[in-house]
């Protein structure tokens, strides 16, 4: 979080500042950082999350974050990310952080066959997730779509995040990011794209028609000055939209309700005070996210759905005077910890404290590892 060289830059410069740091990641760092991020999310009321891990230096594997989810009790959609086109081939990342495409596809099949659970209420599913059009080849995008289709798993990448992202697509591929996605089989109800800040009207129509989902990450988009995603237009067109906190390096926090608040407020900056209501923002955080992940068994309190229940103590000073509309107060007022969280029938948070792991030593180890990682560059 708050890495000095990455504090005041846009997306591509932000990545360039962080790539050298990320080359030092170890399996322990992946595991511990995942535990911390998941703990933050769960303490904010999140019961289900996906994570897009797309670099694996020094022996790291997706298994490291999967182990974290199992230990802490979060329902998890683990995305097997990848980067295959480095600087020497016209891509953005340094070559040392890329993998060969044969190795990527082989390990993608391994994690699907080892971990993907198709059962209703499943706590662990896998998605295929090349990092972005500017870090993988056209062939890998196509092959990834084919693998996802053959195994019946989700498909995920970053798309149309900012103007430079769109310019790269037009220059290298001769089309918009949405057109590129359509050409390569990257649309449909099993597909979701992160950000889509610069999704144009034709792209919105395509996503609505095909049921392609969007993970809206308002805090990250503001932090990197990427722009304001056209969420109101997406919702009006019928595009599935859920919320994402992106990651600690581009958000510096992981709070689901805070992200819903940011989504609501940011749309109002663009389109007026009625652009997104508090209840619509909560829908993005619940049913919206479930739909984007292709789940019809989570996201709401209803018969036949998973026993995922979250409760907030509205006696907190931050809600004082706002209880005439408690649901709106949860979004409008200062974000707080969840008081209770039940995930798949298991109590995970009680009285605002995690019940599954001893958090203080994890946080202390995370601090040590973060210092090591940043100081080596």
Residue 96's Cβ-side half-sphere holds a number of Cα atoms within 13 Å equal to: 10
β-sheet bridge partners, residue 159:
195
Nearest 5°: the CA angle 74, 103, 84 is: 85
Percentage of the chain beyond pLDDT 70 is: 100
Please provide the size of the chain in residues: 377
Q: What is the Cα–Cα distance from 93 to 280, expressed in whole angstroms? A: 37
How does pLDDT run across 25-59, given as a tens digit for each residue?
A: 999 999 999 999 999 999 999 999 999 999 999 99
By DSSP bridging, strand 309-311 and strand 340-343 are antiparallel
The Cα–Cα gap between 23 and 192 comes to 27
CB < 8 Å & 24+ apart, contacts of 28-32: 28/64, 28/369, 29/60, 29/369, 29/373, 30/60, 30/64, 30/65, 31/64, 31/65, 31/67, 31/68, 32/68, 32/362, 32/365, 32/366, 32/369
Q: Supply the pTM of this predicted model.
A: 0.97
| N- to C-terminal Cα separation, the chain | 15
> In which band, very low, low, confident or very high, does the pLDDT at 78 lie, cut at 50, 70 and 90?
very high
Q: Which domains does the chain have, with CATH numbers?
A: 4-306 (3.20.20.140)
Model pLDDT for residues 208-235, shown as the tens digit of each residue: 999 999 999 999 999 999 999 999 999 9
159-208 residue pLDDT tens:
999 999 999 999 999 999 999 999 999 999 999 999 999 999 999 999 99
**What is residue 299's predicted lDDT score, i.e. its pLDDT?**
98
Instruction: Give per-residue pLDDT as tens, 83-120.
Output: 999 999 998 999 999 999 999 999 999 999 999 999 99
Instruction: Say whether pLDDT at 273 is over 90.
Output: yes
Taking residues 131-142, report their average pLDDT: 95
């Amino acid at each position: 979080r708050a890495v000095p060289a990455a504090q005041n830059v846009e997306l591509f410069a932000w990545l360039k500042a962080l790539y050298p740091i990320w080359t030092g990641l170890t399996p322990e760092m992946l595991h511990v950082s995942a535990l911390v991020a998941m703990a933050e999310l769960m303490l904010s009321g999140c019961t289900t999350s996906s994570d897009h891990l797309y670099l694996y230096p020094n022996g790291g594997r997706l298994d490291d974050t999967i182990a974290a989810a199992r230990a802490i009790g979060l329902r998890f959609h683990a995305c097997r990310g990848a980067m295959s086109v480095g600087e020497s081939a016209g891509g953005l990342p340094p070559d040392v952080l890329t993998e060969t495409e044969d190795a990527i596809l082989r390990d993608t099949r391994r994690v699907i066959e080892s971990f993907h659970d198709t059962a209703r209420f499943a706590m662990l599913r896998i998605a295929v997730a090349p990092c972005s059009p500017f870090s993988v080849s056209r062939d890998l995008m196509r092959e990834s779509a084919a693998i996802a289709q053959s195994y019946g798993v989700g498909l995920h990448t970053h798309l149309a995040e900012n103007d430079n992202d769109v310019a790269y697509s037009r220059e290298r591929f001769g089309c918009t990011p949405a057109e590129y996605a359509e050409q390569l089989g990257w649309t449909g109800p099993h597909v979701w794209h992160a950000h889509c800040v610069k999704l144009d009207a034709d792209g919105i129509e395509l996503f609505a028609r095909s049921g392609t989902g969007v993970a809206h990450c308002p805090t990250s988009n503001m932090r990197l000055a990427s722009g304001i995603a056209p969420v109101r237009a997406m919702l009006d067109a019928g595009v599935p939209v859920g919320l994402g906190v992106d990651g600690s390096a581009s958000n510096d926090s992981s709070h689901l309700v805070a992200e819903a608040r940011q989504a609501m407020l940011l749309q109002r900056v663009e389109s007026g005070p009625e652009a997104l209501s508090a209840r619509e923002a909560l829908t993005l955080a619940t049913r919206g996210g479930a739909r984007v992940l292709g789940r019809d068994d989570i996201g709401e309190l209803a018969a036949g759905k998973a026993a995922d229940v979250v409760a907030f103590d509205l006696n907190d000073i931050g809600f004082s005077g706002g209880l005439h509309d408690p649901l709106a107060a949860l979004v409008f007022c200062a974000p707080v910890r969840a008081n209770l969280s039940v995930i798949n029938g298991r109590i995970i948070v009680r009285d605002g404290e995690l019940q599954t792991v001893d958090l203080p030593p994890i946080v202390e180890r995370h601090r040590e590892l973060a210092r090591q990682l940043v100081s080596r560059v």
